[in-house]
Amino acid sequence: MGWLVIVVVTLALVVGLGVLIFALMRRSQGVVPDMADKRAADRDRVVAVDDLGRPVTASQENDEGEPRDDDAFEAVLKDELKDLGH
């Protein structure tokens, strides 16, 4: 009779631990991406200002779907370096 109590208690502990682990895993699936996005946003730097004066960050995608203008980027980079005195 004593071994039956041990089996029931052990089974209850295993099921309870499984439910706890499952609940924590489901919670972490929502928390981890939010924290990663927050950390990325904290490290994101303003790299330019658009025509309307809004800051453009390094992580922003090209919203218009236009290809990037490498020649214009090189020109801006050269101007910035010239302004710095190099």
Which pLDDT tens digit goes with each residue over 47-83?
777 788 888 777 665 555 566 677 888 888 888 888 8
Which amino acid, residue 7? V
- Count the domains in the chain: 2
pTM: 0.35
Per-residue model confidence as pLDDT tens digits over 21-42? 988 887 766 666 666 666 666 6
73: Cα within 13 Å, side-chain hemisphere: 5
Residues 34, 1 share a domain: yes
DSSP state letters, 41-58? HHH--EEEE-TTS-EEET
What is the pLDDT at residue 72? 82
Residues 31, 52 share a domain: no
What are the C-alpha distances in Å from 65 to residues 55, 70, 71?
A: 19, 15, 17
Domain that holds residue 17: 1-43
- pLDDT-derived band at 45, boundaries 50, 70, 90: confident
What is the pLDDT at residue 86? 57
